[in-house]
Structure 1
Amino acid sequence: MSPQDRHIRNVLKLFNAHGHRHDRYTLFSDCMELIAISISNSVDSRSRLEREARYLEIVGRYDRPAVEMFPQVFGEITMALEAGPGDVLGSIFTALEIHNKNRGQFFTPYPVCQMMAGVMLGSAEDARALIEAKGFVSAMEPACGAGAMVIALAEAMLAAEINYQRYLHVTAIDIDSRAVHMAYIQFALLHIPGHVIVGNSLSLETREHWFTPAHILGGWNGKLASRPRASERPRRAELGMPPGRSSPRTTAAEPTVSTIGAQLTLF
């Protein structure tokens, strides 16, 4: 058993130990939100007060043993991703058998994501040429789930000896807030610069905005605001992206709905 699998097994044991006192679906969802809030509040001052209030509201629902379990889960997830990139939370979610079959909620197996990411990234030379021309690679994920496709893309860049922590920025959207919390946690722990949104990629409605520590600490609002306009870009085919509407500039203030324009790039 790999180190990552051992940590995943430890997380499953923790949830199973408390599943008889709490609804497993709700327990998992609340745990993901608490971890996401903990990460966000360490770097994102604009949302801190609101999210801290939400944190206390969730914690107030549980007894002490359950509350003490949450940081243990956080620690195991951190160690699992320290062992290597992978869709750790997607694996845990599926193993707990709490995915929503009625809504057709199934996460793409990580080996499939790895294959797709390799195809989209292309050769290391093409990726480096794009970075040299634009400064970084941007990826848009309109139905991110737990973030497996983005993680696979980061892993592919790493295999090509490209530092994704410096040269990749991701905008990821999902209609399910729990999926967004899962993706945000994994992106944060892998230090992927990203803007993760609870919203609808088709209607362009948004409800929550989560910025990873790598996004905030790396000054990505400024980098995105100063990127060339679509007409100035040397090419449109970013990671296999089809021709389409260009994304407007992002400001350092609250992100706008238009940041999820020009999506449908990874699926």
Structure 2
Amino acid sequence: MSTTTDHQKAFITLFESTARYHHRHKVFEDFVSCAVAAIHNKICHSDTLEAEYMRIIKGYEREDLLNMAHLLSYVTLGLAEQPCDFLGSVFMQLELGDKYRGQFFTPWPVAYMMAQMNFTGTGRKLREQPFVTFYEPACGAGCMALSFAAVMEERGWSPDEHLWVMVVDIDPLAAGMAFIQLALNGIPAQVRTANALTDAPPRRILHTPMHYVGNWQTRLNHIPHLTESLPL
């Protein structure tokens, strides 16, 4: 039986042999952008994402485009095996993080421990209200939100029904990775490409499929004090 580690190794092996005529970081960035477009547009079409997708694939040979589809399948399978930060982990294993804006993603065991520590009281809140919200600035690949959702599910609460997440990162690549992983984990979320330390308008706002499927905009609008504090 394959494990998440097996899928990560398969991802890395395939990635290293994909589109060697481009810089490794560009290939990873383009893979993430194409995956975001494919996942998002399946449930809510965006002309902007579609145009970006079409622009990117023109620069790749057919075999490499097929490889990118297989890369996404490894991410999907790896996340299905067990809760983890699949993309954050392979990003660091590929040594892309320390060469790109000094990014170092939080290891899953650390994030999971922090989620367990911060879950205290959440169960009590969920017995008094239908859902809780989670905000993660400088989210990277969304590791903290993913670990919180994992702990919530372990405690008997379904994240797709009882959790809404907002994550923010200034780096479009990081925000894209967070979107992919939150979407594939079935977590209702808003993903912002923005500077969490300023009031500058976000460069991009995306919602995961479960945000739409679960009618979360309506659910959030029914809580006045929440909609006043969250930039929806």
TM-score, with structure 2 as normaliser: 0.94
Q: How much does 1:76 deviate?
A: 0.9
SS at match of 2:53: helix
Runs of 4+ in 1 over 4 A off after TM superposition: none
Correspondence list, 1:94-243, <5 A: 94-101=92-99, 103-122=101-120, 126-205=121-200, 206-229=202-225
Computing the radius of gyration from Cα coordinates, the structure with the larger value is 1
SS at match of 2:198: coil
Q: How much does 1:2 deviate?
A: 5.9
The answer (yes or no) to whether the contact 2:19–2:60 under 8 Å persists in 1 is no
Question: CA offsets per residue over residues 108-162 of structure 1, 9 Å max, x none?
Answer: 111000010011111xxx3232123231010111111001101100111011111
Which residue does the alignment assign to 2:52? 54
Amino acid at match of 1:112: V
Which residue does the alignment assign to 2:16? 16
Which residue does the alignment assign to 2:77? 79
Structure 1, 19-28 or 139-148: larger mean CA deviation: 19-28
The answer (yes or no) to whether the contact 2:98–2:104 under 8 Å persists in 1 is yes
Provide the rounded CA distance (Å) in 1 between the counterparts of 2:65 and 2:137: 33
Amino acid at match of 2:58: G
Which residue does the alignment assign to 2:33? 33
The answer (yes or no) to whether the contact 2:5–2:78 under 8 Å persists in 1 is yes
Provide the rounded CA distance (Å) in 1 between the counterparts of 2:204 and 2:69: 24
TM-score, with structure 1 as normaliser: 0.82
Q: How much does 1:100 deviate?
A: 3.8
Aligned-pair Cα RMSD in Å: 1.7
Amino acid at match of 2:85: D
**What are the ranges of 5 or more consecutive residues in structure 1 without an aligned counterpart?**
231-246, 251-257, 260-267
